[in-house]
Chain A
Amino acid sequence: MELHKRDNRNISPEIPDDWFAPKNKNQEQAEAVVRPSLSYWQDAWNRLVKNKLAMTGLIFLILLTIMAFLGPAISPHSGSQQQLANQNLAPSSDYWFGTDELGRDVFTRVWQGAQVSLFVGLAAALIDFAIGVAYGGIAGYKGGKTDNFMMRIVEILYGLPYLLVVILISVVMGPGLFTIIFALTITGWVGMARIVRGQVLQVKNYEFVMASKTFGTKTGRIIRKNLLPNTMGPIIVQMTLTVPSAIFAEAFLSFLGLGIQPPLASWGSMANDALSAILTGHWWRLFFPALLISLTMFSFNVLGDGLQDALDPKLRR
């Protein structure tokens, strides 16, 4: 075939001759990074925003927080005032969510309950975070015997049935807001400590951490600058899931009569008080607190899932 002969190289007539001049090029162009590089957090945020379910959860939680403070203020009724004439009124234009058996306004109480429930959840998450990160961070970072000893303790605590311990402590200390938070966190931090330790162990062996170690960077600085940013993902996810489980646990304690005590009310205690009301047809007393618990659980769970996906570096494309 002609094509194989060397002197018969194809000349494409439609290409003008003067295109065959050397290209004027600069070296930087070749070295330029072709894709815009986003920081880890920007990238994670972009991915979270794309997750509709997680964003729904986030938006609901923001609204919930606003309403927890705004709700009691815009309500025409007080949450603690008992009006025996207005017992068990169905929702109406006057009492938006109805009233309870003591004539208290459910709308106002439900948002006051939101403050308490959210406070319990957030407090538990923050305390777990503080203890868990410190404990797990030290165990993972120090390694060796320290780690071994610290993790033995964690193992024993982890073996304890969580809710039983919570019940016991509540029985002993007597129910109340402080007791609940104390009981929820006394063994609750263990899960966080395990996660942090696992992450730290993993990250510790990454080359860039080794590198800063060889440069003689101080331990505290390595933990702050290298380890924490890289372990933040799973920690944030764990915290997102601690809040609803604390709210749930409080509801469970309320059911056992060990929850928030009057005059304070939480969603759990309101729902528990209303359990018998549903059989007498006063559905709104159970419906609104139960709905808010469920929506909050739902929001935190989908947000946690979304964060888990968004913060997972493996999924980065």
Chain B
Amino acid sequence: MLRYIMKRLIAMVITLWFIVTLTFFLMHSIPGSPFNEERATSEAVQRNLESFYNLDKPLYVQYFSYMKSVVTLDFGPSIKKPSQSVNDMLSRGFPVSFELGIVTLVVAIISGITLGVIAALRHNGFIDYLAMTIAVLGISIPNFVLATMLIQQLAVNVPIFPVATWSSPMHMVLPTLALATGPMAIIARLTRSSMMEVLTQDYIRTARAKGLSPVKIVFRHALRNALLPVVTVLGTLAASILTGTFVIEKIFAIPGMGKYFVESINTRDYPVIMGTTVFYSAILIIMLFLVDIAYGILDPRIKLHKKEGS
């Protein structure tokens, strides 16, 4: 177990290093400096700025100094808003984004699994078709369209929910709904197909042959096995929720990380882009790692110290 975790940790560090390096060189491959666009700055000011941001040093020096700052978790100042450091933005935006992400994840998991299980048990019945129609619709509508429609219907036309900012539970309803629908649909479809597969397994027949009630068969024997494949996609799902937050935070004017990220893309604020990308990647990679560990705990057949077991 410990060896497996160590191995995974090392792989995580390598992936992260890869991302940091990739990000760094991609950003520096852009022709010209970020300062000679838009604002007409004098040559002296520009040189000053470049030296402040280390842009006048050779590339490898910049690379190492950047690596150093990443390791010490200091992403430096923003170029477009010099009064703010990237760290400021992250520490201000992260708690909000985290809250939105977690609430969404929980809503998506609970509703998705419920929908999927019900659909599987009523296979080919009305409820199955209804649930799967909802699920396919959820996958089919881009979240920015859904968010806009929700605002139009439930905030403008019929003002039930407030929009913009992130201050009360009522403010959370629409963004969460807009963000959770897609992942919920994915979970529901996966749960359904996996549940249906599990229900045809021999051990389910054994359980029936014991005279167990359908409820016990579903909850004791089927559900846990059916959820294993669902667990494996949680990592990628977290990723899609995360990128979804860019959209949702911008539309609902939620002061999270995603808003800063989108703004930094629009203004080409490279330190912010780099910092947030690295930060997001780190979160995602940690999520994937946690999912792997969770999978190992849920499935007794996986021996975590034997990597080939999966």
Direct contact of A and B (CB under 8 A): yes
B interface footprint on A162-179 (CB within 8 Å = 1, 0 otherwise): 111101110110000000
**Which chain B residues lie closer than 8 Å to A169 at the CB level?**
26
**A180 within 8 Å of B by Cβ?**
no
Q: Are A167 and B14 in contact (CB under 8 A)?
A: no
Nearest residue (CB) in B for A283 is: B152
Q: Are A297 and B144 in contact (CB under 8 A)?
A: no
**A255 within 8 Å of B by Cβ?**
yes
Q: Are B280 and A164 in contact (CB under 8 A)?
A: yes
**Which chain B residues lie closer than 8 Å to A272 at the CB level?**
144
Q: How many residues of A contact B (CB 8 A)?
A: 36
CA distance A252 to B258 in the complex (A): 13
Q: Are A256 and B262 in contact (CB under 8 A)?
A: yes
* Stretch from B99-107, B110-118, B135-143 that touches the partner: B135-143
* Stretch from B43-51, B68-76, B239-247 that touches the partner: B239-247
Q: Are A302 and B136 in contact (CB under 8 A)?
A: yes
Chain A nearest CB from B273 CB (Å) reads: 6
Q: Are B145 and A286 in contact (CB under 8 A)?
A: yes
Chain B nearest CB from A266 CB (Å) reads: 12
Q: Are B265 and A290 in contact (CB under 8 A)?
A: no
Q: Are A161 and B142 in contact (CB under 8 A)?
A: no
**B158 within 8 Å of A by Cβ?**
no
**B277 within 8 Å of A by Cβ?**
yes
**Which chain B residues lie closer than 8 Å to A160 at the CB level?**
15, 18-19, 22, 281
Residue with the greatest number of chain A CB neighbours at <10 A, chosen from B11, B22, B30, B145:
B145
**Contacts of A257-284 to chain B: CB distance below 8 A:** 257-258, 268, 271-272, 275, 278-279
**A301 within 8 Å of B by Cβ?**
yes
Q: Are A156 and B18 in contact (CB under 8 A)?
A: yes
CA distance A105 to B29 in the complex (A): 40
Nearest residue (CB) in B for A163 is: B243
**A134 within 8 Å of B by Cβ?**
no
**Which chain A residues lie closer than 8 Å to B281 at the CB level?**
160-161, 164
CA distance A164 to B27 in the complex (A): 13
Q: Contacts A258-B265, A301-B136, A301-B140 known; A161 to B280 CB distance under 8 Å?
A: yes
**Which chain A residues lie closer than 8 Å to B139 at the CB level?**
297-298, 301
- Where chain A touches its partner, the secondary structure class is helix
**A184 within 8 Å of B by Cβ?**
no
Q: Are A162 and B148 in contact (CB under 8 A)?
A: no
**A294 within 8 Å of B by Cβ?**
yes
Q: Contacts A160-B18, A171-B268 known; A271 to B26 CB distance under 8 Å?
A: no
**Which chain A residues lie closer than 8 Å to B243 at the CB level?**
161, 163-164, 252
CA distance A171 to B26 in the complex (A): 9
Chain B nearest CB from A183 CB (Å) reads: 11
Q: Are A275 and B14 in contact (CB under 8 A)?
A: no
Chain B nearest CB from A152 CB (Å) reads: 9
A interface footprint on B207-245 (CB within 8 Å = 1, 0 otherwise): 000000000000000000000000000000001101100
Q: Contacts A162-B239, A255-B144, A271-B145 known; A168 to B285 CB distance under 8 Å?
A: no
Nearest residue (CB) in B for A169 is: B26
**Contacts of B61-79 to chain A: CB distance below 8 A:** none
Chain A nearest CB from B132 CB (Å) reads: 9
Cross-interface CB contact of A172 among B14, B29, B239, B266, cutoff 8 Å: B29
Chain A nearest CB from B180 CB (Å) reads: 17
Q: Contacts A163-B243, A164-B277, A164-B280 known; A268 to B142 CB distance under 8 Å?
A: yes
CA distance A165 to B19 in the complex (A): 9
**A293 within 8 Å of B by Cβ?**
yes
Chain B nearest CB from A256 CB (Å) reads: 6
Residue with the greatest number of chain A CB neighbours at <10 A, chosen from B11, B144, B149, B281:
B144
Cross-interface CB contact of A293 among B23, B29, B145, B266, cutoff 8 Å: B145
CA distance A272 to B262 in the complex (A): 14
Cβ contacts A to B, 25 pairs, < 8 Å: A156-B11, A156-B15, A159-B12, A159-B288, A160-B18, A161-B242, A161-B243, A164-B281, A171-B26, A256-B246, A258-B265, A271-B144, A271-B145, A275-B144, A278-B149, A279-B151, A286-B148, A290-B141, A290-B145, A293-B145, A294-B140, A297-B139, A297-B140, A297-B141, A301-B140
**Chain B residues proximal to chain A, CB less than 8 Å:** 11-12, 14-15, 18-19, 22-23, 26-27, 29-30, 136-137, 139-142, 144-145, 148-149, 151-152, 156, 239-240, 242-243, 246-247, 250-251, 262, 265-266, 268, 273, 277, 280-281, 284-285, 288
**Chain A residues proximal to chain B, CB less than 8 Å:** 155-156, 159-165, 167-169, 171-172, 248, 251-252, 255-258, 268, 271-272, 275, 278-279, 286, 290, 293-295, 297-298, 301-302
* Extra 8 A-B pairs, beta carbons < 8 Å, given A160-B22, A271-B142, A286-B145: A156-B11, A156-B14, A164-B243, A169-B26, A255-B250, A275-B148, A275-B251, A301-B140
